Amino acid sequence: MSGSSKWQDLAPRVGSAVVLVAVGGWAAWMGGTVFLAMIAALTGLMIWELMRMLAPENGAARIWMGLLCAGVMAMTAYLPGQALLPVLLAPVLAGMSSVKDHKAIWLAYAPVILLGAFGALSLRATGLTWVIWLVAVVAASDIAGYFAGRMLGGPKFWPRVSPKKTWSGTVAGWIAAGLVGFGFMTYGAAGAAIVVVSVIMAFAGQLGDVAESAVKRKVGVKDASNLIPGHGGFLDRFDAMLGALLLVLIVRMVTDFLPGAG
């Protein structure tokens, strides 16, 4: 790979990232209905992209499943706790009839989108601090991995699934996430465990990235869509965040590892 080709996607990636950070940051700051509406919209778009990959011949199903999942996510703010999981997973079963050849992928990955998105709402309900922490961990890991992978290269992390991801980028992502955790330990209310937790969350994000890469490789597409210049689709941009959010949701159910987020 030539020096120029290594970085040819950098400018559109940066431009798109600035817009995403601005819109997402504003919605997270506002919280409440604004944040709920953004997460619901993102859920619908990511489900639309997933259905687009798995059932490209079924345009109508993509639209109605996206709208259904966006509506379900919006409803979560008004549902009792015991109804949340059944309602969140109901669209997964409803979508099975629209996916002919990749039912197993739909059954495995659609819940990741829905539960990860709900994890974002759940984390925001604790306040803004831990949303900032998780976004910073995933972003630092992604940025460090991007630059280290292209500058250092080296052995591939999982070449059969994600041929561009290297061990140098993966480890650089862990280090960057640990530094974010150290910052929250030093200047916030978190203890030393937040450093380790940050690295684990970065790894969960990396697995989220690999999982989406595996889906794209299986169905033979380069990007989930072309909705975001330089990034492909929303799934391509938020795959790592979904992995981390899903782990946050699971861990928060069994521990109080985030101060004030129990």
Q: What is the pLDDT of residues 20-51, one digit of tens each?
A: 889 999 999 999 999 999 999 999 999 999 99
Tell me: pLDDT of 1 over 60: no
- Would 125 be classed as within a structural domain? yes
Helix (H) or strand (E) holding 19: helix 10-30
pTM of the entire predicted model: 0.89
pLDDT score of 135: 94
Domain assignment of residue 202, yes or no:
yes
Residue 262 domain-assigned? no
Q: What is the mean pLDDT of residues 154-183?
A: 83
Residue 260, in any domain of the structure: no
Does 255 score more than 60 pLDDT? Answer: yes
Residue 228 in domain:
yes
pLDDT band with cut points at 50, 70 and 90 for residue 262 = very low
Residue 173 lies in a domain: yes
Question: What pairing do the DSSP bridges indicate for beta strands 156-158 and 162-166?
Answer: antiparallel
Burial class (CB in 10 A: 0-12, 13-18, 19+), 179: middle
> What's the mean per-residue pLDDT of the chain?
87
As a whole-number percent, the residues of the chain with pLDDT over 70 amount to 90
The whole domain housing 53 covers 3-254
144 and 119 in contact (C-beta within 8 Å)?
Answer: no
pLDDT of residue 10: 67
| 183 to 54, 172, 179, 189, 205: CA distances (angstroms) | 41, 17, 6, 11, 19
Residue 261 lies in a domain: no
Is residue 259, in this structure, part of any structural domain at all? no
When divided into structural domains, the chain yields a total of 1
260 pLDDT more than 50: no
Give yes or no for residue 2 having a pLDDT over 80: no
pLDDT of residue 168: 86
